Structure 1
Amino acid sequence: MKRNILFVDDDANILQGLRRMLRPMRDKWDTFFATSGKEALEIMARERIDAVVSDMRMPGMDGPELLHHVMREYPDAVRFALSGYSDKELVNRSIAPTHQYITKPCDEKMLVAALEQAIAARELVPNKAVLDKLARIEHLPVLPRIYNRISEELAKGDPSPKDIGDIVAQDVGLSTNILKLVNSAYFGLARHISTPQQATIVLGVNVIRSLILSLHVFQNFDPLGRQSFSLPLLWGHCIRTASIARALAEHEGLPREQVDYAYIAALLHDVGKLLLDAQCSDDCQRVYEVVRQQNRRVAEVEMEVLGLTHAQVGAYLLGLWGLPGPVVHSVARHHAPEPEPGPIGTTEIVYFANLLEHEVIVFNEHYARPTPEPQRLAAVGGPARYEAWRQLALELGLQPQCE
């Protein structure tokens, strides 16, 4: 089925350039163009639009106001902000209704890939009622500015780790938290890291970006009130799972990029729990009550109560944010029973890292201890390989408290 994409900009020349640039997509997309927010809403009233890409600075109804309308009236539509201006007030107003920011002039391949992935993310949430609720969230955590700045630098070419570290160093609080983590047992580095620049050189840009994102997400949910689970315990579980995933990926000789993807996906694999608890708190309370009373798995009970799992919701959020496909896919499948075809890759590493963390560290004595699905265990070589991985996880010496 074709996607319907709406582009909004008061500059007709910009729209004409987009029309030419996206001509190769005409077999996959039907594109619509509007020169004002009012015209955009009129188009949406008569057409089913999958994604809206709007300029920010427009006369009359500007981009933030338009995207707020879209969020309230058409929550299914993915919302992108496309702008060449650095306007603090506009950026602040567009934070709530915007899934991704793209700087213009933009690269055709980057724009197409971002739109395709964000639209596909909606399909990870099969429960339409829950999807509508999630899509309307005003305080949906958004990508932090430093994360976006790093992404912009990466899009320009190949920035040095020092340049990326300089960006991180501008946020003193974030830098302190990053260095605290980097120097903890979770990384097991042989020497002390004293600056964000050193951390970026040693660990790489992708790992630093993922730490920024994870810290931001957990801090975003911290003040929201009650949780159906312990937030510090969940954070500890995620950071330990990421450490195990990196160790397994390196042990299996995966390329550096896949090692990074495994670490990032493992670090963010349970972000869906945060989103569900914030928006479906009563249902989540019921889920965890059943889990504790009947000693069952969380994902299994979520499917019964909500019609989806936190794995699907987490992948939905990461897909909207435009994280790499292997990361989104690994998060979506970290409770799936079927193995991935082919050699061991990121998805299987994240799946087994999550299991091993639960085995090495008792996350909650009232929860059922997960065991590998027979199909996935057989696909990676059976009990012998799993036992070797378990020993590797034990050798990391991970502690049950986040330091």
Structure 2
Amino acid sequence: MSASTGKKKILFVDDEPNVLSGLRRTLRDQRKQWEMDFVGAGQEALAKIDEAYYDAVITDMRMPGMDGAELLDRIAERHPYVIRVVLSGQSDQASVMKTVGPAHQYLSKPCEIETLKATLARAFSLRELLGEGRLKSLVSGMRALPSLPLLYSELLNLVQDPNSSVADVGRLIAKDPAMTAKILQLVNSAFFGLGRRVSNPLEAASLLGLEILNPLVLSAGIFKQFEASEIDDRIFSMDALWSHSSRVGALAKLIAKEEEMGSPAVEDSLLAGMLHDIGKLILVVNQPAEYAQLKQASADAAEQMLAEKEIFGTTHGAVGAYLLGLWGIPQSIVEAVALHNQPGLQGERALSVLSVVHVANALVHAMDDDASLEKLIDHEYIEQLKLAERVAVWKDLAGAAEL
């Protein structure tokens, strides 16, 4: 098994023998890092995964008998910890609907072998953030993140209203971190073959169009409503999370603009700010009792990180980053989510999306929670970036803006 050999164990599934032969040949140099099996049918693949541990499965879509979508569905139910990737030439709307839930990522044939290697290497690397235990299964098994009930209801009404436009739908999705993450996963997949990354939910909605968005919302189950009744509002407030995340995103965007970081970084800063606390949502949905224990154990941000590591074995930043990374969200956003409370762990010392999200989060907490900005900002990190004098400017920016 993977755990005993130290190698990652990967299962490739395709009904075309020449495709499997090609994969065997081109991946020969990975044998020191990966233990690989190759099978020609979905049922055979499921039997192997039922019998032995695998870190990842790479499957074709269209196969006789059990197709790729059904295979991934079964794996997600029985073995949610497995990283699930589609490698297929099928990119029709029906394929999108069937795999958007169970698949973490979609790669199109013909696929550059370096792209496949990089996709898996990134997923394996992010997984190490979570350490050992059941969190890997919980996070890998998530097909959708719950959204604010009011926004979810509005979205259902919009997609069923013949007078609504794709811009209306895009603007609504842009208000919700969970919806934003899921739509970016889809539009950046090889299903659409854009050849560039999209980090703006309005642009993502426009590229998908209502013809795809409507059935995705109504039948594919990629969005779902947060069930507030399951969680004590004193322990967790979806409204408070949404408000804080939106404000951090808006301020991060303002700071990035002020520092003239350029269009991609400005958009990524907004998104990373919106998504930085998505790990809290994952934890409270999957482990509400432990999350309640966390809230009782910690008061400020520093204490919370220590308590998270004690209770969950990791931080909410790492949990959120792992899911977003599995979904193929851009690296700069994933990094900012992972390290927004501990930016000093980043090896590079340069102004980045992480930098502005770290400061924006600290400033918003200081304004809203009457917390100490001195305790919230990593001053050593900011000094190393030679940005200490800019913090006062950003603070004024936050005060002047209507966040």
Asked if these proteins are the same fold (TM beyond 0.5), I'd say: yes
Local SS of the residue matching 1:155:
coil
The offset of 1:231, in angstroms, is 1.2
Q: Deviations over 1:282-320 (max 9, x none)?
A: 11122223346x897533332232222110100010111
2:226 corresponds to: 222
| Alignment match, 1:3 | 8
- Aligned counterpart for 1:325 among listed residues 324, 328, 331: 331
Q: How many angstroms apart in 1 are the aligned matches of 2:109 and 2:186?
A: 14
For this pair of structures, how many residues does the alignment match? 353
Closer, same or farther: CA 167–376 of 1 in aligned 2, 3 Å: same
| Contact kept in structure 2, 1:297 and 1:368, CA below 8 Å | no
Structure 1: which amino acid aligns with 2:296?
A: E
Cα shift readout 1:225-279 (whole Å, capped 9, x = no counterpart)? 4343221221121121112112222222324333333222222111111111110
Does 1:233 find its partner at 2:240? Answer: yes
Paired residue for 2:266?
259
Superposed counterparts of 1:2-401, under 5 Å: 2-23=7-28, 25-26=30-31, 28-44=33-49, 48-86=53-91, 92-137=97-142, 144=182, 148-149=186-187, 151-152=189-190, 155-157=193-195, 166-167=206-207, 169-170=209-210, 220-223=224-227, 225-227=229-231, 228-291=235-298, 297-336=303-342, 338=344, 340=346, 341-360=348-367, 362=368, 364=369, 371-381=376-386, 383-398=388-403
Judging changes above 3 Å, is the alpha-carbon distance between structure 1 residues 86 and 121 closer, same or farther for their aligned structure 2 residues?
Answer: same
**SS of aligned partner of 1:124:** helix
Structure 1 window deviating more from structure 2 (164-173 vs 340-349): it is: 164-173
Indicate the SS of the match to 1:31. Answer: strand
Which letter does structure 1 place at the counterpart of 2:339?
R
**TM-score, length-normalised on structure 1?**
0.74
Residues 165-218 of structure 1: CA deviation (Å, up to 9, x unaligned): 6435527999xxxxxxxxxxxxxxxxxxxxxxxxxxxxxxxxxxxxx9xxx98x
Percentage of identical aligned residues = 32
Gaps of 5+ in 2: 1-5, 147-178
Matched residue type, 2:106:
Y
2:129/2:322 contact within 8 Å kept: yes
Which letter maps to 1:83? S
Q: What is the Cα-based RMSD across aligned positions, in Å? A: 3.7
What amino acid maps onto 2:45 in structure 1?
Answer: A
Amino acid at match of 1:372: I
| Separation in structure 1 between the aligned mates of residue 109 and residue 213 of structure 2, nearest angstrom | 31
What secondary structure sits across from 1:123 in the alignment? Answer: helix
Answer yes or no: is the 8 Å Cα contact 2:76–2:141 preserved in 1: yes
Residue 357 of structure 1: how far off its partner (Å) = 1.5
Cα distance in 2 for residues equivalent to 1:53 and 1:172: 25
Contact preservation (8 Å) 2:277, 2:316 = yes
**CA distances 1:309-338 after superposition (whole Å, capped 9, x unpaired):** 110100010111111222211111111162
Cα 1:320–1:254 change in 2 (3 A) is: same
Greater Cα shift, 70-79 or 316-325: 70-79
* Aligned mates of 2:106, 2:50 — CA distance in 1: 24
User: Could you tell me how far 1:6 is from its partner in structure 2?
Assistant: 1.7
Contact 2:100 2:186 in 1 (8 A): no
TM-score by length of 2: 0.74
Q: SS at the partner of 1:128? A: coil
In 2, the alpha carbon distance for the partners of 1:92 and 1:109 equals: 27
Q: Secondary structure at the match of 2:54?
A: coil
Structure 1 regions of 5+ residues with no counterpart?
175-211, 399-403
